[in-house]
A = this chain, B = another copy of it.
Amino acid sequence: MAVPLYQAKAEFFRMLGHPVRIRVLELLGEGPKQVRELLAATGVEASSLSQQLAVLRRAGIVASAREGSTVTYALAGPDVADLMLAARRILTEMLTGQAELLDELRESTGGTNELPESSAARS
């Protein structure tokens, strides 16, 4: 409540802004995973993965449990899975959309982004 909403949002997005963290969240979207599995799937160094897992844990977006000598991670709640799905949909849409846009732009003068109305060319 003390933190403005747009700041909380920014922090949340920043927390998502790392390739390994994205991959982990997508993997956990399939279901709980042991660290060994995440390690194998991502191919990063153990300690580096641990650091990123710690970030996700601190953000409260994943939960961990020790089972014997191994540790299992899971998404902290169903909202998170929804979020990852939505993000995935939106992002892939958006990225393909941008690719199309890029193609369109290449056909014309090769400009950067200007508003549709204005037709100024870059020097």
| A13 pairs with B5, CB closer than 8 A | no
Bound Cα distance A108, B88 (Å): 34
Is A62 at the interface (CB under 8 A from chain B)? yes
Residues 1-24 of chain A: 1 if any B CB is under 8 Å from the residue's CB, otherwise 0?
100111111111111111101110
User: Is the CB–CB distance between B115 and A74 below 8 Å?
Assistant: yes
A64 x B115 contact (CB < 8 A): yes
- What total of chain A residues lie within 8 Å of the partner, measured CB to CB? 59
Interface residues of A (CB under 8 A from B): 1, 4-19, 21-23, 26, 32, 57, 60, 62-67, 72, 74, 76-77, 79-80, 82-83, 86-88, 90-95, 97-99, 101, 112-118, 120
| With A5-B95, A9-B87: A63-B113 Cβ-Cβ less than 8 Å | yes
Consensus secondary structure, chain A interface: helix
Contacts of A62 in B (CB 8 A): 113
Q: A120 touches which one: B7, B10, B13, B66 (CB < 8 A)?
A: B66
Least Cβ–Cβ distance between A92 and chain B, in angstroms: 7
Instruction: Give which listed residue, B57, B77, B94, B99, contacts A83 with CB less than 8 A.
Output: B94
Give A88 to B117 CA distance when docked, in angstroms.
28
